[in-house]
Structure 1
Amino acid sequence: MVNLELDAEQLEVAELGRQLGLEVLSPVAREAEERRGVPEGVWRTLFETGLTVPVPEELGGAGIGDTVTLMVALENLSYGDPGIVFAAYSSGVAAMLLARHGGPERAALVRGLTSDPTARGAVALYEGQGRGAAEFATVIHTTDDGRIRVRGHKTAVAFGADADPLVVVGTDERSGAVRAVLVPRDTDGITVKAYDGGLALDAARTAAMSFDVTVPAENLLDAEDLLTTLGRIRLGVAAIALGTAWRAIDYAAEYATERVAFGRPIAAFQGVSFPLAEAQMRITQARLETLDLAARLHDPDAADLTAAISRLLAHVGETAAEATRAAVQTLGGHGFIAEHPVELWYRSAMALSALDFDPLCSSFTPAL
């Protein structure tokens, strides 16, 4: 049986993440969205904790080795602002991929990302349409002269316009296996189209990228346990969405206890309180499911969890969307104006739920 009770270290991480989220990230959430970038001082503060760069200490990381602790960190940081956390995490997972699959020859690249707060890495993972977790349209294959060719289109690549190093994930054209390859920034055949503001997550400066490049064979990363590492990356998005949902519901609940209508707080009306209570229950359920999968990801005897992670992402995405929508509706007309942050959290939850969506995974079950 998996024990989902947090240990002392994880509780400390949760406390630190929540404190940073509320005191450092939340006050600059609007600024980060408007300027399409995280303020330098805020990024440096978050960077120094190492909570969003999950690599071993010997490579300059904070040593967050297990996925459960990483999920706890991301959820509590996102209680402050999901956009900033998504930006920092997106750069951090590039270091994680290189640390786990790049071998000793990539150690210098990893140390560059863990020692220099101005450095940005990127992982070109998402493709902008509903698909299975391993169904990439981007293809990676070996040419006749032994080099690696990468062809495809990626969307929502955080720091896609300027990140270096850049890791592209795709499918081996012959075997169908998932592969990852390091693509130097100056390689011919990279086309970048930066988004001029989107629904949310603008702090990550996301971009669409097209690739038709050829790189040396040694740029192909080790494929052993690659799906496990990608699963860890994908679970992180679920944790960010859950932190966003928690903050929105807590904010709406506090508002409902202070807003008076018809002589009493609106929280006294079942039409207001019941949706918030149901949202809290569903968030708790989704959080436990996320931690359960995160714990099983390290079990060598566990079956491939790729499909289970896809189902979880669908469930968490729907849960976060419903929760943040309930928060907006609790505030009524005030929920749609920038004076209150719930509309930002709603947009963020919707954007996160659309990043990695398998149309065959849904919490809806036909009554047959």
Structure 2
Amino acid sequence: MADFDVYQLPEEHRAIREAVREVCAARVAPHAAAADANSEFPKASYDALRASDFHAPHIPVEYGGAGADALATAIVIEEVARVCASSSLIPAVNKLGTLPLLLAGSEELKRKYLTPVASGDAMFSYCLSEPEAGSDAVSMKTRAVRDGDFWVLNGAKRWITNAGVSEYYTVFAVTDPTARSRGISAFVVEKGDEGVSFGAPEKKLGIKGSPTREVYFDNVRIPLDRMIGEEGTGFATAMRTLDHTRVTIAAQAVGIAQGALDHAAAYVQERKQFGKAISEFQGIQFMLADMAMKLTAAREMTYVAAAKSERGDADLTFFGAAAKCFASDAAMEITTDAVQLLGGYGYTVDFPLERMMRDAKITQIYEGTNQVQRIVMARQLLKD
């Protein structure tokens, strides 16, 4: 099925799409069903993405990365999600975890931690949410207390994507309990730091090939130079990060929706009832048209938001929230309709549609629920 772009992407971005699609067809798609069925991290898919430099394409060249811009990174995530949403969280979460360093970290921190991620020797996760602080992140309880040349961290983070697999973690903790959002700071924590441990993997509806676990900090001593930015700037860094990375969730949603539409369009042309392919029935055609229309709009919003992310435009907050919200809502609708078009087959694991439908749901929830995205958009409108 055509991608329905209303403008022509630059040649370099089209080449990236073709290269990622080729890798995914040969070396990622074959592992998608097993990763879902077994709830196992798709190591073979990671190796394939790493070998092709698609595991963390956003990392700048000076740190050993591919130096992909925000649009190219979105295209990589989109194409991986088209065949395996769990695997698309490899480049997506590597960007989420490392972006605070790129935005606010010292040069020493960047060189120490971005280089191994760029080479594929480590992954990076993002620790913001807590058991009692989800949408209300300012209410986090994880504390960091200064002790000489160290910060001592205590607390727990919940819903951490790729926890236990990632080697490094951006962790947000309260350093001044009296200052609300201005009392939160950001740190780099290593998996091997004494006092770091993980909960059991969550049993989830979808993205089962990407482990989600709690991360615990029990008197974890962090050297002073592992703070990201200045003390008290962590919450601002967290929000700036999400402005950019909501674009990656929009891209993931677009990829899932494209994969579902591809399978549905192929199926309805092969399936025959009443003596002809069901694609000849107007009701089926209308469903496909609506699916493609929503997908087209979602992709264009995502690419515009990616361009604004690359430029650091002042209105990125609105566009990032809008793209994430619209694309994820569209992905849920499109995957649901794709299951319907396959009838009983869509409800079975013989086809990937039921997996795509389950995977799509999380895009409406993480990195800020779509209800929160609407609040973000409204505040930007009223402020302006």
TM-score, length basis structure 1: 0.85
Q: 1:187 to 1:7 in 2, by over 3 A?
A: same
**Match of residue 176 from structure 1:** 181
8 Å CA contact 2:302–2:323 kept in 1: the answer is yes
State whether residues 165 and 182 of structure 1, in contact with CA within 8 Å, keep that contact through their aligned partners in structure 2: yes
Pick the aligned partner of 2:18 from 15, 20, 29: 15
Call closer, same or farther: CA 1:218–1:327 in 2, change over 3 Å: same
Q: Which amino acid in the other structure matches residue 161 of structure 2?
A: A
Moved more, 198-207 or 90-99: 90-99
Structure 1 residues 237, 169: CA separation in 2 closer, same or farther (over 3 Å shift)?
farther
2:254 maps to which residue? 242
What are the Cα deviations for residues 199-248 of structure 1, in whole angstroms up to 9, with x where unaligned?
A: 12122222123446563433221259834433222211110111010110
Shift of 1:336: 1.1
Aligned equivalents of 1:24, 1:34: Cα separation in 2: 18
**Which of 253, 271, 279 pairs up with 2:291?**
279
Deviation at 1:144, TM superposition (A): 8.2
Q: C-alpha distance in 1, partners of 2:314/2:337?
A: 36
Residue 90 and residue 220 in structure 1: after superposition, are their counterparts in 2 closer, same or farther (change >3 A)? Answer: same
After superposition, give the CA deviation of every residue in 1:117-148 in whole Å (9 maximum; x if it has no partner): 4x332222445799659656355666586864
Match of 1:291 among 281, 300, 303: 303
SS of corresponding position for 1:195: coil
Number of aligned pairs?
A: 359
Take 1:358 and 1:280, find their aligned partners in 2: how far apart are those partners?
22
CA distance in 1, matches of 2:131, 2:91: 21
* Match in the other structure for 2:281: 269
Q: Select the residue among 334, 338, 351 that pairs with 2:345.
A: 334
**Distance in 2 of aligned mates of 1:11 and 1:126:** 36
Q: Could you tell me how far 1:11 is from its partner in structure 2?
A: 0.9
Deviations 1:76-97 (A, max 9, x none): 2221211111134323543444
Name 1:350's counterpart in structure 2: 361
Task: Give 2:243's aligned residue.
Answer: 231
2:297 aligned counterpart, secondary structure: helix
In the alignment, what sits opposite 1:195? 201
SS in 2 for 1:353: coil
- Over 3 Å counting, the alpha-carbon distance change for 1:125 and 1:283 in structure 2 is farther
Asked if structure 2 preserves the Cα contact closer than 8 Å seen for 1:68 and 1:294, the reply is yes
* C-alpha distance in structure 1 between counterparts of 2:200 and 2:7, whole Å: 40
- List per-residue Cα deviations over 1:301-335 (Å, max 9, x = no partner): 524x3354233322222110000000001111111
| Distance across 1 between alignment mates of 2:303 and 2:93 | 20
Task: Describe the SS at the equivalent of 1:354.
Answer: coil
The change in CA–CA distance for 1:217 and 1:90 in structure 2 (over 3 A counts) is: same
1:256 partner SS: helix
What is the match of residue 163 of structure 1? 166
The change in CA–CA distance for 1:62 and 1:336 in structure 2 (over 3 A counts) is same
Matched position secondary structure for 2:13: helix
In structure 2, the partner of 1:44 is 47
Structure-2 separation of matches of 1:69 and 1:235: 12
- Residue 8 of structure 1 deviates from its aligned partner by 1.3
Distance 1:42 1:144, change over 3 A: closer
Structure 1 residue 112 corresponds to structure 2 residue 124: no
Q: CA deviation at 1:354?
A: 1.9
The residue aligned with 1:220 is 227
Q: Where does structure 1 lack aligned partners over 5 or more consecutive residues? A: none
- Contact 2:157/2:214 (8 A) holds in 1: yes
144 and 150 in structure 1: CA distance in 2 versus 1, 3 angstrom threshold:
closer
Amino acid at match of 1:158: T
| Identical positions, percent | 24
Partner of 2:215: 209
Kept in 2, the 8 Å contact 1:133–1:310? The answer is no
CA–CA separation in structure 1 for the residues paired with 2:103 and 2:302: 22
Partner of 1:81: 84
Residue type of the alignment partner of 1:220: M
3-state SS, counterpart of residue 198 of structure 2 = strand
Aligned alpha-carbon RMSD (Å): 3.1
So what's the TM-score if we normalise by structure 2?
0.82
CA distance in 2, matches of 1:127, 1:283: 33
1:353 deviates by 2.1
Query: Residues 301 and 26 (structure 1 numbering): CA distance in 2 closer, same or farther, change over 3 Å?
Result: closer
Change (3 A) 1:245 1:190: same
Partner deviation per Cα, 1:327-352 (whole Å, 9 max, x = no partner): 00111111111101101111110123
CA contact (8 A) 1:56 1:63 kept: yes
Give the distance between the partners of 2:136 and 2:13, measured in 1 at CA.
29
Quick one: distance in 2 between partners of 1:69 and 1:88? 12
Q: How does 1:51-66 map to 2 (within 5 A)?
A: 51-53=54-56, 54-64=58-68, 66=69
